[in-house]
Structure 1
């Protein structure tokens, strides 16, 4: 089994299923397809049905899209408890994951994941206020229900879906409650996340489209080093 991923520093969708694979001790290889450089778009289209990452390859089966990959892994390894065990909690976990997949667009657009960076104060709070309020309501409610440290007590697929959010909150030092801060700490303390982040910090590549200074127009494209 192999998963094709993008740059670890920036690729939120690659991070999510990779965390599931590593945390649940599933045997796999990974291959990084850079999201910049000569012919990078052509390479993605040659290797991925959607022209995007991640992509899971299991023998002759090719599965694109993060949630589809996670669901496939949950079906293939039912003993791993990738989703919560109770039907009610699985429903809540899938609902939260779907909301992450389709929502929080202001936060995702204005505060891109950048594990190497620290940009306190660079995101206008009025732009992301509605998303931050919903995050506090949703995640705070799930954490109160489970008692933490993860959304359903133990790490599951829903936490993998929200791991990039934790990095955004920390990178831009966005306001959060003590409960949410403890959740961010739990994500950062997860051995699988630490392994991903360690590799991300070694990457030399810069993606202008995911750098806040370029997005905000304070730095010209191609000038970051």
Structure 2
């Protein structure tokens, strides 16, 4: 059986993405959490991952790091699962949007880290993420208008997994978005696979200061959050 090495569920955006694909499309796998903080965590990652990062998919002798590479491998390995849209043109658009997520949206990433346990309305200034929110309004809005929702291409596909962490940021920080985007965020949260991940994340005891907004913004000293 395949194994997916992941980081802390509460914070690890890149781990969430392939995990959702595996779980939603009912592909059998095990997972293992590798800590993203604490004594020697970087050494542990270096020993288990070719890149020193998570996620990593292990399938027999094959070791695949990097989220998009993992998703593409799964799509090739299980072509009957429709992990990407089945239409050629839609599939190209979905891959382009996923690549954009991979390379862009730096404002959201740096100013609004994923934190599934938290609720921090008002702690992220809208101006710091305005450019990224505008791009999401255009990108998601166009795709949802064409597909009719609830997901970007109607049914859940890999591109929704790629954007799921952005949806969590919108909810965690109560970022201003249109009703259409708010409905998409709700669709992500209602997905059974996401609900399973979320339930596990909420019971994690670990704190990663680098992803806690109160530490980032200087309201709380590192190492003092319980």
TM-score, structure 2 normalization: 0.99
1:92-103 alignment, distance < 5 Å = 92-103=93-104
How many corresponding residue pairs? 225
User: 1-side partners of 2:128 and 2:188: how far apart?
Assistant: 25
User: 1-side partners of 2:30 and 2:72: how far apart?
Assistant: 18
SS at match of 2:58: strand
Please report the RMSD computed on the Cα atoms of aligned residues, expressed in angstroms: 0.4
Indicate the residue corresponding to 1:86 in structure 2. Answer: 87
1:1-225 alignment, distance < 5 Å = 1-225=2-226
Note the C-alpha offset of 1:39: 1.0
Task: Deviation per CA, 1:49-87: give whole Å up to 9, x if none.
Answer: 000000000000000000000000000000000000001
User: 2-side partners of 1:211 and 1:173: how far apart?
Assistant: 16
Task: Deviation per CA, 1:130-153: give whole Å up to 9, x if none.
Answer: 110000000000000100000000
SS at match of 2:63: strand
TM-score, structure 1 normalization: 0.99
SS at match of 2:96: helix
User: 1-side partners of 2:217 and 2:141: how far apart?
Assistant: 30
Note the C-alpha offset of 1:219: 1.0
User: 1-side partners of 2:200 and 2:34: how far apart?
Assistant: 14
Note the C-alpha offset of 1:36: 1.1
SS at match of 2:32: strand
User: 2-side partners of 1:126 and 1:117: how far apart?
Assistant: 21
User: 2-side partners of 1:106 and 1:216: how far apart?
Assistant: 15
Gaps of 5+ in 2: none
User: 1-side partners of 2:28 and 2:133: how far apart?
Assistant: 36
Note the C-alpha offset of 1:218: 1.4
